[in-house]
């Protein structure tokens, strides 16, 4: 069975030879893995090494933007040329991160929010699409990412999380209008990628979008706010994917299963992340409540045994998760987030050894 067949069948809850496998990690981890495993230091080498079934066909908007400069560069900071958020490099003992900071729309007036630039989907160069499709012929192709759409987080990157949540709760007119403009741009951006794939005679196997909805113990917003503000906007992405007959997977951090019935009603096929330590997110709970109705992607915690335990504990956690998830069908083996820099390499190897040990039907 090819990787493409394996992923497509899993999304339909049809039987396959084994569960599909996915992998994503911080660059520091990639370098360490490549060194230990004796493979070239690039992402494709790692994906091949672990037998990953999917490939992302989704250029970083910042890398293919060809329009006029929308935002002023600031010394000492990185200013994203497409979305305008600010970040700076923060080192830690394991490596470091680009950390969001100095939010340009924090405490901003309605006029400032209304004037904040949003790019035109026509100002991007999608020329590499055909080449990548040929390269990944037998792999499942997805577009989007866990951070794409993600209305709460993406607005928070330019407005700060407090202003974002307060303004959304009070349905601040300028904020809602800005969010709608950003959504319109992203839907247009996606549509152009779908069209490039269609022109190449191929189809997209999955659209991956995100919307973080939970803390570790509870929802981050009310159901009323979700249904009134967030849900109609997410539906625009889903409707676009549906017009190209592409299933949709939604990344939701934290305790977010409270929204899954609405996801099912909207036509979402799969949910991602599935932090098992969060409230109402354990493998047993998910299978009992949504098994057969949603496909599950993730559930191997990056905050548990993988980063904090032994290789033996990692194997046991993977075995137990597969034992619960596999009988329900529709399970994709993956970490809950990017594997973090503090994760021992031997634990990552144990994780992927485990899926080849316990992940066959």
Total domains in the fold of the chain? 1
The domain spanning residue 140 has which CATH number? 3.20.20.210
- Give tens-digit pLDDT for 196-218: 999 999 999 999 999 999 999 99
Q: Look up the domain containing 267 and give its range.
A: 3-66+110-358
> Sign (positive/negative) of CA torsion 212, 216, 220, 226?
positive
* 24: confidence class by pLDDT, cuts 50, 70, 90: very high
Calculate Rg over the CA atoms of the chain: 20
- Give tens-digit pLDDT for 317-340: 999 999 999 999 999 999 999 999
**Encoding tokens for residue 10?**
């899993």
Flag whether 71 is in a domain: no
Provide, rounded to the nearest whole percent, the portion of the chain with pLDDT above 70. 100
Flag whether 244 is in a domain: yes
Look at residue 45 and tell me whether its pLDDT is greater than 90: yes
Q: Rounded to whole angstroms, how far apart are CA atoms 198 and 203?
A: 6
Cβ proximity of 21 and 50 under 8 Å: yes
Look at residue 150 and tell me whether its pLDDT is greater than 90: yes
- Give tens-digit pLDDT for 171-199: 999 999 999 999 999 999 999 999 999 99
- Concatenate the DSSP letters of all residues of 10-55 into one string: HHTT---SB--B---B-HHHHHHHHHHHT--SSHHHHHHHHT--EE
Flag whether 286 is in a domain: yes
Flag whether 89 is in a domain: no
Question: Edge to edge, what strands does the sheet with 140-149 contain?
Answer: 54-56, 140-149, 206-210, 248-252, 270-273, 295-300, 331-335
Span 280-307, average pLDDT? 98
Flag whether 132 is in a domain: yes
């Amino acid at each position: 069975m090819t990787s493409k067949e394996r992923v497509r069948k899993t999304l339909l809850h049809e039987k396959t030879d084994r569960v599909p496998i996915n992998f994503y990690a911080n660059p520091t981890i990639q370098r360490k893995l490549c060194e230990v495993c004796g493979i070239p230091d690039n992402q494709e080498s790692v994906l091949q090494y672990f037998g990953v079934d999917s490939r992302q066909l989704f250029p970083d908007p910042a890398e293919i933007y060809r329009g006029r400069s929308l935002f002023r560069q600031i010394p000492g900071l990185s200013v994203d040329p497409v979305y305008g958020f600010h970040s700076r490099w923060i080192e830690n003992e394991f490596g470091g991160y680009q950390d969001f900071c100095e939010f340009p729309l924090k405490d901003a007036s309605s006029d400032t929010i209304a004037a904040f630039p949003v790019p035109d989907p026509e100002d991007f160069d999608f020329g590499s699409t055909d080449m990548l499709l040929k390269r990944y012929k037998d792999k499942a192709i997805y577009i989007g990412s866990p951070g794409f759409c993600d209305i709460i987080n993406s607005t928070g990157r330019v407005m700060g999380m407090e202003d974002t949540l307060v303004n959304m709760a009070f349905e601040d007119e300028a904020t809602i209008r800005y969010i709608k403009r950003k959504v319109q741009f992203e839907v247009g951006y996606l549509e152009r990628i779908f069209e490039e794939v269609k022109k190449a005679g191929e189809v997209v196997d999955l659209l991956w979008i995100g919307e973080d909805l939970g803390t570790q113990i509870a929802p981050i917003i009310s159901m009323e706010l979700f249904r009134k503000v967030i849900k109609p906007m997410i539906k625009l992405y889903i409707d676009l994917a549906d017009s190209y007959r592409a299933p949709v997977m939604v990344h939701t951090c934290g305790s977010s299963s409270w929204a899954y019935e609405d996801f099912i009603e909207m036509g979402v096929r799969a949910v991602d992340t599935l932090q098992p330590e969060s409230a109402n997110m354990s493998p047993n709970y998910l299978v009992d409540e949504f098994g057969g109705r949603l496909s599950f992607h993730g559930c191997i915690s990056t905050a548990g045994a993988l980063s904090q335990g032994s290789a033996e504990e990692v194997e046991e956690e993977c075995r137990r998760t597969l034992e619960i998830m596999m009988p329900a069908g529709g399970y994709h083996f993956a970490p809950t987030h990017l594997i973090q820099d503090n994760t021992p390499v031997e634990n990552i190897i144990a994780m992927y050894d485990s899926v080849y040990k316990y992940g066959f039907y």
